[in-house]
Structures are given as C-alpha cells and as structure tokens.
Structure 1
Amino acid sequence: RREQNLKRVAAEKAAAKEEAAAKAKAAETAAQEQEEAARQASLEADARRGKELKAKEEKLQAQGDVSTLGDAKPRPVMVADEVLAAEELATKEASLAADARREENLKRVGAERAAAQKAQAKAEAAKLDALLEEEKAARESSAVADMRREENLKRVAAEKAAADEAVKVAKAAAERAVQEEEEAVRQASLEADARREKGLKTAYQERAAAAILRAEKAKAAFAEAQQDAAAMTRSLSALSS
C-alpha cells in the first residue's frame, strides 16, 4: 500500500510539473502572439501613414505644377514643402506615439506574463505542497502500520514464548511425575522384595526350628531307647545268672 501511494504521488508530481510547463508555455506563446500582434499593428499603422503622406504629396505636386523663375520656388511648391514638413513631423510624432504604445504593450505583456508565471509558480508550489503533505501522511500511515505490525509481531512472539514456557513447564512436570511414579514402583518393588525375603527367612527359620525340635525329640527317644535296652540287658543278665 505504501509503494502504491508513493507511485501515485510521484505520478501526480510529474503530472503537475507537465501541467505547469504546459501552462507556462501557453502563457509565453500568448504573450509572444500579443507582442507580434502589437508589432504588426504598428507596422500597418506606419504603412497606412506612409500611403497617406505619399498620396498627399502626389496631390500637392499635381496642384503645384507651375514654372519657376530663378531660385525662387513657386507658392504651391512652398506650400507643399510646408505641408510635407508638417506631415513628416506628424508622422514622427505618430511613430513616437506608436513606439510608446508598443513599449507600453510590451511592458503590459511582460507584466501579464510575469503575473501568469508567478501565479503558475504559486499554484505549482501549492500543488507540490499538497502532494508533499499527502506523501507525508502516507509515510506516517505506513509508519503507523509498521508500528502496529511490529507490536503484533512482539505480541505474537511473547505469546509464543509464554506457550513454549508453558509447554516446557508441563513437560518438566510430566517428566517429574513419570520419575516419581517410577521411583514409587521401584520402592514398592524393593519393599515387596524385602517382605518376600523376610517371609522366606522366617519360613526357613521356622522350618529349621521344627527340624531341630524333631532332632531333639529323636535324640531323646534314642536315649530313652538306649536306656530301655540297657535295662533289658541288665534284666537279661540277672536272669541268666
């Protein structure tokens, strides 16, 4: 999304520059056209004045076609010279006035061109500022999105660490339970073995005591039988004597 915003802002910047260049070119072309129109108008005015003067001169020359005596000029020719001088002065004044108007037109066109360029530069600067503000907002929005993504990653990492720790604790508890169960079984087996060994020992002791008792009884019976045999021997000896 940030890349798209940057591309769009760059495209709008390029479009704004092209539009500003086109408007400046159009303003310059219009100024040149106005300047050319003023120049053509001045040339046409000069041409018209030249034609009028030429026509008046031809008319005066036609009216003053008389013979001359010595160096003196005929009156019509003198009048024509005065008229021509007056017309020449008027022409110069008109030319100066036309030059002044042309200069004023050029100044006005230059001022209008400068004002148009200034307005265009101001509009371009305003549009560029707007684009920069939009780009800044896009960067800030992107920064906020990056911050949220970073926070989410940290939260996920913390949750994963907590889950891993819980699994580790549960695994350790299960291992301890298994070990305790194995130890309990081993102790129970040892106790059972001890009880069994103790029971066997007691049984052996009881059997040995019974055997000893039987042996003593047999010994006593044998002694008694010996005594009986001796008594019988003595009795037999007494009877034989």
Structure 2
Amino acid sequence: MCGRFVFHTPLNLIARRYWDYQMATGNMVARYNIAPGTQIASIRQSPSGEPRFDYAWWGFRPSWADERAPAPINARIESIKTSRYFQEAFNQQRCVIPANGWYEWKRLENGQKHPYYITCPDLERGEALFFAGLYTPTGEGTSLRVAIITEPATKKIHHIHDRQPTLVHPGSLSQWLDPAQTADELKGRIRRTPGDSLAYWPVSTDVNRTGPDNNGASLIAPL
C-alpha cells in the first residue's frame, strides 16, 4: 500500500515543466510526512483540456456512498476496472498525485517494522513522480476525494513491501488524464516510471508520528 508520502516541489514549477502551463506561485508548504485524511495536491484534466490543479481529501468515497462508508486511501490496479466502488472513476475521473517519494515499512527479523524512504534520486528541480489516482466529488460537490492506485512492487523494492504506487511516466500523463480514453484503450498503453530508477534507504522512526510539528526534511535523511 501507499500510506505516507513526500511532496516538496512547487506546483507552479511542475505546471511549467510538464504542461507548459503558467499558474500563480501560491503559498505551497513543503510536506515530508503526508498522511491519509489530509488534503493533498492532485492534477486532473479540465473540460477545456488544460490541467487542473486541486487539493483533494486523501480517502476515496463515491458521491453516491453513505458518509459512514469506507474511504480507502488506495485502489488496487488489479480490481479497479470491475470494482463498484472505483469503476466509474477509473473510466472517467482519473488524476495524478505529484510526489517526490514515499515511505514503506519493512518488517525486520525481530518482528518490528522500520521505515524506508523510496524515491527517484535523479529528479531535478521542478520535477516529480506522478502517482496514478482516482478522484470523486464529495457528496456536497464542493471538494474532491482521491485514492492512490497501487500495484505489485517492482523487484528492486519488493523486499521492503509487496505493493507500490502505480507511477505514471511523464510521457503518458496526457493519455492517463484524458477522460475520453476508455479503460480498454488505456490497457497496455500507459508507460510506467521504470522501477530501476528508484532508490531507497532507511530513515528515522520519527516518521511514524504524524502531525504539523513533525514535517521536516530531516525525516527523509538516510540513517
């Protein structure tokens, strides 16, 4: 699964780098310990075809579902095409969640778990990873909810965790976000960011604790 991640690249740089789109600088705060239930940056395609940058609640609940229904943070790529919960969003409401990396916890021989940070060390200023995502309007229609799509982990990081976010290659962003592309048309055509480009290292267990006072860059520092 993907239950904690990092995002510190300014959105206006991402808009210019990947979409040649100018947007206001804004007051984005670098976040090194993003947890479920908070608002996260997401990118979808507007009806005019331009990118639309939103902040959405991390936890997916279709607008038709009762407010007491589950709000999963992840959607397994193996089942989203047939899942009643995710099927409509997969067909029409795809997005990406920009990130610089994510955390996974590896189970040690003593039974305890230790956090690792996983990233692409070759990312330059203004660049990011893109988690495949699904979005849905809230019941009130005033904001969005999102889930991050996951898939089996690549061989390089499988020993840390058996799942990872589905990473959309920058060259496939327009296809993935285009609601005119059907699920069948997308099959086999969406390029992934290569697993060999990823790197990982153990980090402090300080990342286990969430909250606004535990959000510094030191959390991703190698031990």
Higher relative contact order, chain-length normalized (CA < 8 Å, sep 6+): 1
TM-score normalized by structure 2?
Answer: 0.14
Say which structure is richer in helix.
1
Which structure would you say has the larger Rg?
1
TM-score normalized by structure 1?
Answer: 0.14
